[in-house]
Amino acid sequence: MSIYEEAYKKTKKKVGGESSATTEESEAPSVVYQDRAQIQGTDPSRSEAADVRLGPVCDTRGVSVSYLPVIEKMRRYLEGIWGNVILQRGEKPKSMLFCGGSHGEGVTFVSFHLSLFLSVEYSMKVLYVDTGVEELEKSRHVCDIPGHPGLASYLLGSQTLESLIAKTEHENLFVIPAGSAESRGRVSGIIARKESLEAMSQFCRQHFDLVIYDGLPATMYPSVFIFARLVDQVILVCRYAFSRREVLKLVKDKMTENGIAVSGIILNDREYPVPGRIYRFMR
């Protein structure tokens, strides 16, 4: 089983298991950049193909790109997220951090699929970094590779930067796993390893078009703020009817205290109390 099959099973929701809303009543991750418009649509996590391989299939002649259901449903919304990122900054960023206030916001789902999408759709050389070295919860880590060193090993001083990067089945997508369960949790002093992270950041910026960091919950892990200082843009992910406004405000205020500007907020898994067919009828 590839890391993408694992990622698909760990990030997608069980069909109908978490909500009674129909496909037309919920939507994919939306992006809100200050006063900019939201990107709205269907929820990509409610794919009917539960056993499909995650990731697009690229035509070897470069003529067309075929997306699997989970990516196909997200395509225009991922385009919207990326478009808002460039619009807010005025140019393409070299690095981005996605984080939320607590577990269950959908940070991994959004950051991983955006990495996959950009590597295929725009042929960008993208590096996805799982920063979860302080967390032992196995279910979060979508790209763990048995026997492969990860970020935790690098911070412990036992691996070089080059050895961390794993090439995927997609030509332009690379990943740095968090590391083995034996290494994770031992790196609680990550803040004291600021120089190592800065060296890693510089290395990645030089060798990749874009680096996307999958961040831990900002209210629980102070190391998030170290990663936030290394990137061009910090984007919060909140989940509809799940995230608490007070928690998001706490995260934003904490970012401000540390001199970090939040570029925007992605509204994930939004649902409408009124069915979409009613809105269409009212037009």
Domains recognised in the chain with CATH numbers: 3-282 (3.40.50.300)
Residue 185: left if φ>0, alpha if ψ -120 to 50, beta else—which one? left
Residue 62: left if φ>0, alpha if ψ -120 to 50, beta else—which one? left
Q: Per-residue confidence of the chain (283 residues) as pLDDT tens digits? A: 444 444 444 444 433 333 333 333 334 444 443 323 233 333 333 332 222 233 333 333 333 344 566 777 888 889 999 999 999 888 999 999 999 999 889 999 999 999 999 998 899 999 999 998 887 665 555 676 777 788 888 888 888 888 889 988 888 999 999 876 666 666 666 666 788 899 999 999 999 999 999 999 999 888 899 999 999 999 999 998 888 888 988 999 999 998 999 999 998 887 777 776 776 776 6
Query: What type of residue is 11?
Result: T
Exposure class string for 142-155: b at 16+ Cβ within 10 A, else e? bbbbeebbbbbbbb
Residue 79: how many CB atoms within 10 A of its CB? 15
Q: Do 219 and 234 touch, CB atoms closer than 8 A?
A: no
Q: What is the pTM for the complete model shown?
A: 0.74
